[in-house]
Amino acid sequence: MSDTVQVSFTLNRDIFSALRQDPERFVPELRLAAAVKWYEMGMVSQSKAAEIAGLSRSDFLTELSRYKVTPFQYNADEIIREVDS
């Protein structure tokens, strides 16, 4: 019995030309984009996001910079409260 689930969906072919990607490159990019967004929203940890993206945690952190997402999940107010306590 496998612990994995395969998910599939159908897209119009013109989606790939609009994104300037072929389907083989689109799938890993989609996984990465979802992982980055879910991490940015605080829904998943760095390690879980890296797993979703199919990357090492180190490679995932590198990709965060490409998406202009901070690797830190604290906002300025939370950091100030932490320092003051």
Using CA atoms in the order 78, 81, 83, 84, what is the torsion angle rounded to 10 degrees? 170
pTM of the complete model:
0.78
pLDDT of residue 11: 87
Which residues neighbour 17 within 8 Å (Cβ) at sequence distance 6 or greater? none
- pLDDT (tens digit, 9 = 90+) per residue, 13-53? 888 888 888 888 888 999 999 999 999 999 999 999 999 99
Residue 29, token pair as written in the block: 């990019």
CB 32 within 8 A of CB 53: yes
Q: Are 57 and 50 in contact (CB under 8 A)?
A: yes
